[in-house]
Amino acid sequence: MASMASRAAAVTITNAALDKPSHGSSVEPTSRISMAVAVDVSKFESVTMAPPDPILGVSEAFKADSSPLKLNLGVGAYRTEELQPYVLDVVKKAEKLMLESGEFKEYLPIEGLAAFNKATAELLLGADNPVIKQGRIATVQGLSGTGSLRLGAAFIQRYLPGVKVLISSPTWGNHKNILNDSGVPWSEYRYFDPTTVGLDFSGMIEDIKNATDGSIILLHGCAHNPTGIDPTAEQWGTIADVIEEKSHLPFFDVAYQGFASGSLDNDASSVRQFVARGLELFVAQSYSKNLGLYAERIGAINAVVSSSDVANRIKSQLKRLARPMYSNPPVHGARIVANVVGDPSLFDEWRSEMQLMAGRIKGVRQSLYDALSSVDENGKDWSFILKQIGMFSFTGLNKNQSDNMTDKWHVYMTKDGRISLAGLSLAKCEYLADAIIDSYYNVK
Ligand code: PLA
């Protein structure tokens, strides 16, 4: 069928004078009328269809499924036991206060809301951390975890050009996209051992040791995504030893502080251990999960460095990178975080809601394990599920098995075998266990 465009004749009136160098107002404009028939061929014929995002694309497929059995365990978004999205009560309270005080909507400074930047650095390092008193931290509000990582990557591309970032194998898929789009080279270090369904610690250490001195090591601060497997405190110490020896720069991605264990302090202990040793490092933070502010896009990029002077210079350069990218960040989420952290009773309430969310996830984790153990007639040991931390479980299902979960059982999950326990209810654990057992034993 001929498109509208191909049938319509386009008439363009061109001011011929505009095609020539201007000699001032004395030039008499001459008009030219040209008739052109627009063609069916777009200027963009060479644009190919992008593949769906491996995580967010799962939510789109889920929406299109009309089965009443369907279960979305793809994206990591917290749901209630009734599988409904959850807005924290403490967020609603903070928003009410904000509405009542009638706060402005003018631009924030490029680096974001000062009260937020202060609160976020204190939450990360602990309010009495000497690094904060010494001004050795540069904090810039970012567009949640992703945008903060992106800003950090842009800084690396500009000030450490050609330096490779080592990422865990596997990692959150978007890390690769972020580094690729920032023009930052990367390679992988071993992390997951499929035989033990645990950490390949010796492989990890060996790869970090073998990297060129001064590489950047991207680490998940807590609740490693997608495996749910974190190093122990002692292992973190060894990782820090090697990083120090090799003059590498650690870059922490902290997307689950407080959400993994229910404690803000526990979940920041890896970062704090590195900071206490006097290492310089970068940290990206997100408030999507721990405050449920997914769509507000609130987070930060922090650089902890050896002097306040360097911190100030880095901050100025981060601002310089942000200005042509998005100019300045959104205010709403920043105010929520600042108000919650700044008010002792709201802060306490936040901590108990965080424990509630983390506790519900631990509950379904246990219940899924129980259901799998009772359904599995072959007696496979599923206890690795209990050892994993955070909102995900890495089931060990391969792509075909994950496809079977979706095609036959309407269970939506990422193709690497990851399921989000935050999208699971106690009531659905048995159904999920049946789906996993069928996929694991009947699909190769
Ligand atoms: N870093 C890690 C390790 C993450 O898992 C996520 C989110 C982010 C950063 C960024 O989140 P933010 O930009 O919302 O702050 N990962 C999710 C969502 C929960 C996603 O893929 O965007 C996931 O399902 O893996």
Q: How far is CA 328 from CA 108, 143, 215, 325, in A?
A: 6, 9, 30, 9
- Ligand 1 neighbours (beta carbon < 6 A): 55, 75-76, 144-146, 172, 174, 220, 225, 253, 255, 286, 288, 294, 299
| Closest of 157, 302, 141 to residue 216, by C-alpha | 157
Per-residue model confidence (pLDDT) at position 17:
37
Centroid of ligand 1 to alpha carbon of 286 (angstroms): 8
Instruction: Show Cβ contacts of residue 61 under 8 Å, excluding neighbours closer than 6 positions.
Output: 52, 406, 412
pLDDT for 121: 98
> Ligand 1 atom 21: the closest Cα is on which residue?
55
CA-closest residue to ligand 1 atom 12: 145
- Nearest alpha carbon, ligand 1 atom 15: 145
Quote the pLDDT of residue 116: 98
Which residue among 220, 259, 286, 392 is best mutated to probe the pocket of ligand 1, counting the most ligand atoms within 8 A of its Cβ? 286
Atom of ligand 1 nearest to the CA of 172: 3
Best mutation site among 72, 172, 256 for ligand 1, i.e. most ligand atoms within 8 A of its Cβ? Answer: 172
> Which residues contact residue 170 at a Cβ distance below 8 angstroms, ignoring those fewer than 6 apart?
191, 192, 226, 227, 416
Question: What's the pLDDT at 40?
Answer: 86
Mutate-to-test residue for ligand 1 from 146, 168, 424, highest number of ligand atoms within 8 A of CB? 146
Looking from the CA of residue 53, the nearest atom of ligand 1 is 21
| Residue 376 CB neighbours (<10 A) | 16
The contacts of residue 183 (CB under 8 Å, 6+ apart) are 157
Residue 85: DSSP 8-state: B
Q: Say how many Å lie between the CA of residue 376 and the centre of ligand 1.
A: 32
**Catalytic site positions:** 172, 253, 289
pTM score of the predicted model: 0.91
What residue type is 75 in one-letter code? V
Residue 297 φ then ψ, to 5°? 55, 65
Nearest CA to ligand 1 atom 1: 255
Strands 249-254 and 216-220 turn out to be parallel
Query: Which of 137, 123, 120, 115 lies closest to 275, judged by CA?
Result: 137
Using the 8-state DSSP alphabet, how is residue 79 labeled?
Answer: B
pLDDT by 10s per residue, the chain, length 444: 444 444 444 434 344 333 444 433 344 445 565 566 677 899 999 999 999 889 999 999 999 999 999 999 999 999 999 999 999 999 999 999 999 999 899 999 999 999 999 999 999 999 999 999 999 999 999 999 999 999 999 999 999 999 999 999 999 999 999 999 999 999 999 999 998 889 999 999 999 999 999 999 999 999 999 999 999 999 999 999 999 999 999 999 999 999 888 999 999 999 999 999 999 999 999 999 999 999 999 999 999 999 999 999 999 999 999 999 999 999 999 999 999 999 999 999 999 999 999 999 999 999 999 999 999 999 999 999 999 999 999 999 999 999 999 999 999 999 999 999 999 999 999 999 999 999 999 999
Write phi, then psi, for 398 (nearest 5 degrees).
-85, -175
Pairing of strands 392-394, 165-169: unpaired
What CA–CA distance (Å, rounded) separates 373 from 378? 9
Tell me the CA distances in angstroms from 257 to 200, 264, 373, one per residue in order: 23, 5, 31
Please give the pLDDT value at position 10: 41
Q: Give the three-state DSSP class for 5.
A: helix
Q: Are 244 and 279 in contact (CB under 8 A)?
A: yes
The protein residue whose alpha carbon is closest to atom 19 in ligand 1 is 76
Reading the block at residue 358, the tokens are: 């983390």
Nearest-CA residue for atom 9 of ligand 1: 145
- Backbone φ and ψ for 258, nearest 5 degrees, come out as 90, -20
Integer angstrom CA distances of residue 310 from 137, 150, 272, 304, 384:
9, 21, 20, 9, 44
Q: Rounded CA gap, 176 and 198, in Å? A: 22
